[in-house]
Chain A
Amino acid sequence: MSAPPQSTAREEQPMGAAQEALLTVDGVSKSFEGVHALIDVSFQIKAGHIKALIGPNGAGKTTLLNVINGLLLPDEGTVSLRGHELTRMKTEQIAMLGVSRTFQLVRLFTVNDATVLDNVLLGAHKRINPTILGTLFLRSRSGHKERVMREKAMEALSFVGMDWAADRVPTALSFGNQRLVELARSLMAEPELLLLDEPASGLNDAEVEQFLQLLMAVRARGVTILLVEHNMNLVMRLSDDIVVLDFGKRLAEGDPASICANPAVIEAYLGSECAIGGGSG
Chain B
Amino acid sequence: MLIKNIRFFAIILFASLQYLLFIHNAFASDIFKPLHPKKEVAWQFDGVFGKFDRASIRRGYKVYKEVCAACHSLNRIAFRNLTEIGFSTKEAEALAAGYNIIDGPNDIGEMFDRPGALADHFVKPYPNSEAARASNHGALPPDLSLIIKARHDGANYVYSLLTGYKGTEPDSGGLYENPYFITGKLAMTPPLADGIVSYDDKTPQTLSNYAYDVVNFLQWTASPEMEHRKKIGYKVFIVLIVLFIFCVIAKKKVWDDAGK
A binds B: no
Residues of A within 8 A of B (CB): none
